[in-house]
Amino acid sequence: MLTSLLAYFVLMMAIGVYAYRKSTSNVSEYMLGGRNLHPAVGALSAGASDMSGWMLMGLPGAVYVSGLGAAWIAVGLVIGAFFNYVLLAPRLRVYTEFADDAITIPDYLEKRFFDDSHYLRVFSSVVIVIFFTLYTSAGIVAGGKLFEASFGLSYELGLFITAGVVVAYTMFGGFLAVSLTDFVQGCIMFVALILVPIITYTQIDSFSTQGDVELLASSHLSWFAGVTGLGLISSLSWGLGYFGQPHIIVRFMAIRSLADIKVARRIGMSWMLVTVVGAVLTGLFGYIYVTNTSAILDDPETVFIFLSQILFHPIIAGFLLAAILAAIMSTISSQLLVCASSLSEDFYKNFFRREASQTELVTVGRMSVLGVSIVAGLLALDRDSSILDLVSNAWAGFGSAFGPVILLSLFWSGLTRNGALAGMISGAVTVLLWIYGPFSIGGEPLSAIIYEIIPGFIVCSVVSVVVSLMGEPVQTKIIERHLAFTKLLEEKAL
């Protein structure tokens, strides 16, 4: 297993070296790959950086415990990802280039609204850096626990290995390295989530015995067992988060042409459907296998690891464990790069060195990757960090603060700077109050009743529209640019 993992690490580092030599001479290349990303690379990169360890650990574990009723989140994510490709991807790809070649989300928001005050840039950058530092820490924690559980290494050494490899190829190879490694990692995840459920199925004596049928039918094959109406809505609402995830939508900004967006959508959605189904079947078949063999599985979220080690040769098992590590590392690298782009482009260039050269900005970007990773690593030393809660809260926070504003900015010329700023602030505050505020219904916290992204998304949308309509009229130059963008989009679509 260690041999397989070592080969995986060598491959990741080799890709980083290739990307370093290929294109890291200026900020656009370092942060966006020169907007020349192949649609297949962009699609799998978006998918791999999106799913993280949840795809191989969280989802199979939830289905193992609760059956298909736990898979509604996956359904919501698939629907959300599809509409993200249809509604947001093509417009964002064109508009960010049209708006003076914006290369980060804060950069786009500032240029979209001609915001000379820099309020939009500062607020969105602060949200990105803080939340993604914590998000990155959660990924490093998962890597440390994986090495500890699988190989008996110390938790701290697992942290160092996970963070060290990711930082090395991200810091030197930039966006191209992150995207290419994500592509490879997405392929590994794809193969692993086909292989594990199929082999597990073949190892179970029979699914036709009466006992097995009753076992599955009673507890695991019902989509609605134990699922309330609000619970179903909350699970499906995870799909709303896609519109505001900087580490995902930045892939759309980098794809080489508008025509390639459709190709990326077909590839990305096909990849997502296969991997989600594979993860669900891993949980179902794993439950039957463990039950029939009377095996001991202490942590349901490790069912993928358990099946990999029990059913496969160590070389193959190492490859399958690399799939989990790939899911973790792909997300960490994407988040590090988004943080670095905000620190170098949105803070350093705009507030400290406006005359900074391209080489200087790339260097600052690399140092930012290192700095954020150090902070995240220190936070990760607390092994009791709640990974799932942190990811859930950050997903809701980004989706509520950025999602409605980005969608409105792409479709509605009437959105003003003040409307966008008020919407982002109100969306983020609503999520925080929903989670941490002293409010409850029937003794239960609000977040336990309905997922916080729903009120956050609604509040952000309403506030953005109301403030825009009631405030000062939209600047003429904003309307003119939006009309020119719409015309350009129609021409490119033809």
Where exactly are the structural domains of the chain? 2-387
Q: Which residues lie across from 441 on neighbouring strands?
A: 444
pLDDT at 118 over 70: yes
Bigger pLDDT: 87 or 293?
87
Give me the helices (H) in 255-357, please: 259-293, 303-311, 314-341
- Average pLDDT in the 474-479 region? 88
Alpha carbons 179 and 337: distance in angstroms, whole number: 11
The angle subtended at Cα 20 by Cα 19 and Cα 23, nearest 5°, is 70
**Where do we find the tokens 């170098």?**
344
Q: Which residues lie across from 255 on neighbouring strands?
A: 37
Residue positions counted in the chain: 494
- Using only C-alpha atoms, what is the Rg of the chain? 22
What b/e string do you get for 73-96 counting C-beta neighbours within 10 Å, with b at 16 or more? bbbbbeebbbebbeebbbbbbbbb
pLDDT at 210 over 70: no
Alpha carbons 91 and 489: distance in angstroms, whole number: 7
Bigger pLDDT: 480 or 50?
480
Alpha carbons 389 and 71: distance in angstroms, whole number: 18
Alpha carbons 144 and 4: distance in angstroms, whole number: 18
The DSSP-derived string for 151-178 is H---HHHHHHHHHHHHHHHHHHHHHHHH
**Where do we find the tokens 């095996």?**
295
From the number of C-beta atoms within 10 Å of its C-beta (0-12, 13-18, 19+), residue 326 rates as: buried
Binned at pLDDT 50, 70 and 90, residue 101 comes out as confident
**What is the third-level CATH fold of 2-387?**
Sodium/glucose cotransporter (1.20.1730)
- Average pLDDT in the 267-289 region? 90
**Residue 386 gets which letter from DSSP?**
-
Q: What is the mean pLDDT of the chain?
A: 81
Q: What integer pLDDT is reported at residue 159 of this predicted model?
A: 84
Express each pLDDT in 325-372 by its tens digit: 777 777 777 777 777 777 777 677 766 766 667 677 777 777 877 888
Q: What integer pLDDT is reported at residue 69 of this predicted model?
A: 83
Contact call for residues 402 and 451 (beta carbons, < 8 A): no
- Could you give the percent of the chain with pLDDT greater than 90? 18
Bigger pLDDT: 173 or 303?
303
Q: What integer pLDDT is reported at residue 383 of this predicted model?
A: 63
Q: What is the pTM of this model?
A: 0.83
Tokens of 378: 């220190």
Residues 6+ apart with CB under 8 A from 354: none
- Could you give the percent of the chain with pLDDT greater than 70? 89
Alpha carbons 389 and 138: distance in angstroms, whole number: 10
| H-run or E-run covering 423 | helix 417-436
Binned at pLDDT 50, 70 and 90, residue 158 comes out as confident
Among 140, 55, 71, residue whose Cα is nearest residue 324: 55
